[in-house]
């Protein structure tokens, strides 16, 4: 690292720096570090705030997490869910952003606004609407495609159905992100490629795509963080069913914490999930070969 210190620091610089750094430290200590420490300590206890139970258990909760078959299943589901949704989010986002960037398309602003609409709509409402659309008898989806599938009750289709809904809700975010990415590409490079006679595919493959890598990384990382914490769609659409086939890791945490009030166990799950998120995020940085955030 070896940060270079400027020799002269004005008084006002020191004052501003100290105020801001102190404010940050106080804020993050009070509203994040302390609660996290409390929760971390709680993860070693049988902790139920309602009955006032707080008994030391040692590593019991963590042992339970790793021996629980349900956590295993839900972790696999979470990974499938995140990977598939992220691939589609990135793919659709990139594709549509490029299309919208093309000179061949009119009404760009209109499309941009349309695709962004689901992003700003509360998940609760969206999940209810889609639950209606998936209804085997009265749902739009079966009616339009002439199918007879019990989407949310068939273990083969339930998770897919939830993923489709999530992709629908979120791809607009990636579209806007990639439009921003394309907007900031250096136009001279693109011009040069054109003059050199590169086909549009070659330009895309060898110039646009690599230049968009930081944006892709940004989208992927924010997606990992938010999908690992996703549970509202499960709560409303399937409640983890049929059986336990659509349990996601965060849904178990929600269920343990706010339905069963096993706060100790829920905290242990949260920390395991936090570690997994951190590892995945770090891996994304690695894969992209970009060491610095």
Partner 1 sequence: MPKKLNSVILNVILLVMGVITVYPFIWMILSSFKQNQEIMALDQKLLPEQFTIQNYINMNERFDFMRFFFNSVIVTIVVTILVIYTSTICGFVLSKYKFRGRNLLFGFILSTMMIPWCVTIIPKYTMIQSFGWLDSYKALIIPAMFSGFGIFMMKQHISKIPDEVIEAARIDGASEFRIFHQIIFPMSKNSIASIAIFQFLWTWEDYLWPYLVINTKEKQLLAVGLKMFNGQYSTDYGALFAATAVSIVPVLIIYLFFQKQFIAGIASSAVKG
Partner 2 sequence: MRKRFLALTMSALMAASTITGCSGGGDKAANKDVVAPTEPFGDTIVYDPSVEVNNGEDITIELWEWGSDDLFQQIIDVYTAMHPNVTINLVNNPWEDYWTKLPLALDGENGPALFNIHNSYHENIINYLAPLDIPIEDLEADFNGVSAHVIDDKMYYIDYGMMTGSVYYNKDMWEAAGLTEEDIPKTWDELIEVAKKLTIKDGDTIIQAGLNFNDDFHQNYLLGLNYQLGENLFKEDGKTPNVNSEVMQQIMQMLVDMYHEDGIGSENFGEKSSDSFGQGQSAMVIQWGHYYNTLKTTWTNIDFGVFEIPTFTEETPYAYNRYNGESTFGINKNASAEQQAVAQDFVKYFLASDEAQVAFNIAMSTFPAKKSLATNEEILANPSMAILADHIDRYIWPGPMPATVENSLKKAGQDVFYNGVEIKTALDNAQAQIIKDMKNSSFESVESLYTYASEK
Binding site for partner 2 (CB under 8 A): 46, 48-53, 135-138, 148, 150, 152-155, 240-245, 258-262
Question: Considering CB distances under 5 to 8 angstroms, the limit depending on partner class, which of partner 2, partner 1, none binds residue 96?
Answer: partner 1
Considering the complex, state which of residue 195 and residue 293 has its C-beta at the smaller distance from partner 1.
293
Q: CA nearest 237: which of 138, 132, 142?
A: 132
Dihedral (CA of 207, 210, 214, 218) sign: positive
Among the listed ranges 59-67, 68-76, 120-128, 145-153, the one in contact with partner 1 (CB under 8 A) is 120-128
Q: Which does 53 bind (CB under 5 to 8 A by kind): partner 2, partner 1, none?
A: partner 2
User: Can you list the pairs that 112-117 forms with residues at least 24 positions away whose Cβ atoms lie under 8 Å?
Assistant: 112/175, 112/176, 112/179, 115/171, 115/172, 115/175, 115/176, 116/172, 116/173, 116/175, 116/176, 117/172
Own/partner long-range contacts of 17-22 (Cβ < 8 Å, ≥24 apart) = none
Stretch that binds partner 1, among 73-81, 108-116, 147-155, 188-196 (CB under 8 A): 108-116
CA–CA distances in Å: residue 51 to residues 54, 136, 176, 183, 261: 9, 42, 48, 56, 9
33: β partners: none
Q: What number of residues does the chain have?
A: 293
- The 3-state DSSP class for residue 1 equals coil
The DSSP 8-state label assigned to residue 151 in this structure reads G
Q: Which of partner 1, partner 2, none is residue 243 near (CB under 5 to 8 Å by kind)?
A: partner 2
152 binds, among partner 1, partner 2, none (CB under 5 to 8 A by kind): partner 2
- Tell which one of 65, 75, 85, 126 touches partner 1 (CB under 8 A): 126
66 forms part of the interface with partner 1 (CB under 8 A): no
Residue 54 binds to partner 1 (criterion: CB under 8 A): no
- Distance in Å, CB of 124 to partner 1, minimum: 7
Picked from partner 2, partner 1, none, the partner binding residue 87 (CB below 5 to 8 A depending on kind) is: none
Minimum distance from CB of 286 to partner 1 (Å)? 16
Residue from 52, 183, 187, 196 binding partner 1 (CB under 8 A): 183
Footprint of partner 1 on 196-225 (CB under 8 A): 212, 214-215, 218, 225
Beta strands in 119-240 (DSSP E): none
Is residue 136 close enough to count as binding partner 1 by CB under 8 A? no
């Amino acid at each position: 690292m070896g940060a270079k210190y400027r020799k002269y620091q004005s008084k006002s610089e020191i004052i501003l720096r100290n105020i801001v750094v102190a404010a940050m430290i106080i804020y993050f200590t009070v509203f994040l570090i302390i609660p996290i420490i409390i929760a971390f300590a709680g993860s070693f206890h049988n902790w139920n705030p309602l009955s006032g139970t707080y008994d030391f258990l040692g590593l019991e909760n963590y042992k339970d997490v790793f021996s629980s078959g349900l956590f295993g299943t839900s972790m696999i589901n979470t990974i499938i869910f995140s990977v598939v949704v992220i691939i589609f989010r990135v793919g659709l986002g990139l594709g549509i952003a490029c299309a919208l960037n093309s000179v061949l398309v009119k009404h760009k602003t209109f499309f941009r606004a349309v695709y962004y609409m689901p992003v700003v709509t509360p998940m609760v409402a969206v999940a209810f609407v889609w639950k209606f659309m998936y209804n085997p008898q009265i749902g739009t989806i079966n009616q339009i495609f002439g199918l007879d599938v019990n989407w949310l009750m068939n273990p083969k289709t339930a998770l897919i159905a939830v993923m489709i809904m999530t992709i629908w809700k979120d791809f607009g975010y990636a579209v806007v992100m990639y439009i921003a990415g394309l907007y900031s590409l250096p136009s001279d490079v693109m011009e040069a490629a054109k003059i050199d006679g590169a086909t549009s595919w070659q330009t895309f493959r060898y110039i646009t795509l690599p230049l968009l890598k930081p944006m892709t990384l940004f989208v992927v990382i924010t997606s990992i963080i938010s999908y690992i914490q996703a549970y509202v769609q499960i709560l409303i659409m399937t409640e983890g069913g049929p059986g336990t086939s659509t349990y996601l890791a965060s849904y178990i945490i929600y269920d343990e914490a706010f339905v069963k009030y096993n706060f100790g166990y829920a905290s242990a799950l949260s920390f395991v999930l936090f570690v997994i998120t951190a590892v995945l995020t770090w891996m994304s940085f690695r894969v992209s070969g970009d060491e610095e955030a």
